[in-house]
Amino acid sequence: MASAKKLPCSSKKLLEICNRFPTPFHLYDEKGIIENMQRLARAFSWSEGFREYFAVKATPNPFLMKLLGAIGAGADCSSYTELLLAERCGISGEAIMFTSNDTPAAEFIKARRLGAVINLDDISHIAYLEHCAGLPDLVSQRYNPGPLRSGNAIIGHPEEAKYGFTREQIIEGFKLLREKGVHRFGLHTMVASNELNPQYFVDTAVMLYELAVEVYRTTGIRIEFVNIGGGIGIPYRPEQTAVDSELVSRGIQEAYERIIVAAGLHPMKLFMECGRMITGPYGYLVTKVLHIKQTYKRYVGLDSCMANLMRPALYGAYHHITVAGKEDVAAATVCDVTGSLCENNDKFAIDRKLPEVSEGDVLVIHDAGAHGHAMGFNYNGKLRSAELLLRNGGEVVEIRRAETPDDLFATLDFEKLATFS
């Protein structure tokens, strides 16, 4: 089933929003995000204690995190400042999953203070964590299946990935943790990114369930939860189909009964840490046409650039584009849609068919709600845009203002410069 590329409101309303807030900006659809999160939780309601830890890095805006937290999502954090954001949103204790790698001591200390579930990336981190912050009651380990699992396009082959413990280290690590007094254990993996095949996630759960049984048989250790990570893809292209959470859930439930219940290991909790699938389809980059240029090709130049949305330039990713108010005009003009960076790959689309556009037209770039604003940067002196939230009742709230030149220069000392020669 193809995915319809719709705006979160009428184009009339969108143009009104553009009159109130200067473009470019990211616009998030509260209703879409909340209903999406609730659908996921409902799909997994068979699994007692199921929790989705929203991957903060996808959309690190505390207003969105707080909305998600209020309907049961936790926060999956991987850095010090992501932990601080979770804390500011009132998310703490085991509602935080701390999945980091190459981790500085200060981050383990902060995670411990917040009572987060600490998910270790390496066997050597057991001693490191013990030394810098002390071992908590509950520790999770990240599994890297290596050659036992074929990879996916974005993350690549697991044996080439820097993350996680080998199979032998998982067993050894749990024994070591037990010797050191830990008595609650979790098992995690993350082997895919932007994956649209639902079976992939069922296979991931099967892999962890089988490993949990092996851990139990060889060590007597009972795993309290498995965390199958994030990586559920979204249909960036209109002809693609969203992953059916119900289908994934049924497949995992069947595996749970066949493997975990049969081995006498029920109850075992199931966690996820999706980012992209939660917010991705419900965020839009709203931007205006500045210039139309006709040389060897036709260029539609926008008031935004890859500093606002890097995915097309970084991965050659497709992002659908709607011209607001011209939804019914035939997409008959082929053009490159560009930003203003002094980099020729600063293009949102190449050879894209769009309705004939003019200067001042509002373009909406779809599926920018995850890894969009978050991947923003300041190269070429570009300033990050505002983030707006379209609330359930239709009201629009600014949930992050746009950067100003003062923000960009905040780390420079111009007084020192005045006397510097």
Ligand X SMILES: *Cc1c(COP(=O)(O)O)cnc(C)c1O
Residue positions annotated with a catalytic role: 342
Give Cβ neighbours of residue 409 (< 8 Å, ≥ 6 apart): none
| Minimum CB–partner distance for residue 99 and ligand X (Å) | 4
Residues 200-239 that bind ligand X (CB under 6 A): 229-232
| Minimum CB–partner distance for residue 273 and ligand X (Å) | 4
Considering beta carbons, is residue 233 or 339 the nearer one to ligand X?
Answer: 233
Counting residues that bind ligand X (by CB under 6 A) gives 17
190 lines the binding site for ligand X (CB under 6 A): yes
Range 71-74, long-range pairs (CB < 8 A, 24+ positions) = 71/34, 71/37, 71/38, 71/41, 72/41, 73/37, 73/278
| Minimum CB–partner distance for residue 391 and ligand X (Å) | 24
What is the DSSP secondary-structure string of 254-304?
A: HHIIIIIITTT----EEEE--SHHHHGGGEEEEEEEEEEEESSSEEEEES-
374 lines the binding site for ligand X (CB under 6 A): no
Strand partners, 389: 28, 397
| Minimum CB–partner distance for residue 237 and ligand X (Å) | 17
Which position has the token pair 């949103």?
Answer: 89
76 lines the binding site for ligand X (CB under 6 A): yes
Considering beta carbons, is residue 339 or 376 the nearer one to ligand X?
Answer: 376
| Minimum CB–partner distance for residue 231 and ligand X (Å) | 5
116 lines the binding site for ligand X (CB under 6 A): no
Considering beta carbons, is residue 30 or 273 the nearer one to ligand X?
Answer: 273
Strand partners, 76: 55, 97
CA atoms 72, 373, 120, 244: torsion sign: positive
Tell me the pairing of strands 51-55 and 269-272: parallel
Residues 22-61 that bind ligand X (CB under 6 A): 55, 57-58
List the x/- string, 275-314, binding to ligand X by CB under 6 A. Answer: xx--------------------------------------
Q: Which stretch binds ligand X (CB under 6 A): 145-153, 177-185, 274-282, 394-402?
A: 274-282
Q: Which stretch binds ligand X (CB under 6 A): 12-20, 22-30, 268-276, 312-320?
A: 268-276
Torsion of CA 250, 252, 258, 263, to 10 degrees: -140
For residues 67 and 45, what is the distance between their CA atoms, to the nearest angstrom?
Answer: 20
List the one residue from 107, 273, 361, 387 that touches ligand X (CB under 6 A).
273
Distance of CA 9 to the CA centre of its chain: 24
303: helix, strand or coil? coil
152 lines the binding site for ligand X (CB under 6 A): no
227: helix, strand or coil? strand
Contact residues toward ligand X (CB under 6 A) are: 55, 57-58, 76, 99, 190, 193-194, 229-232, 273-276, 370
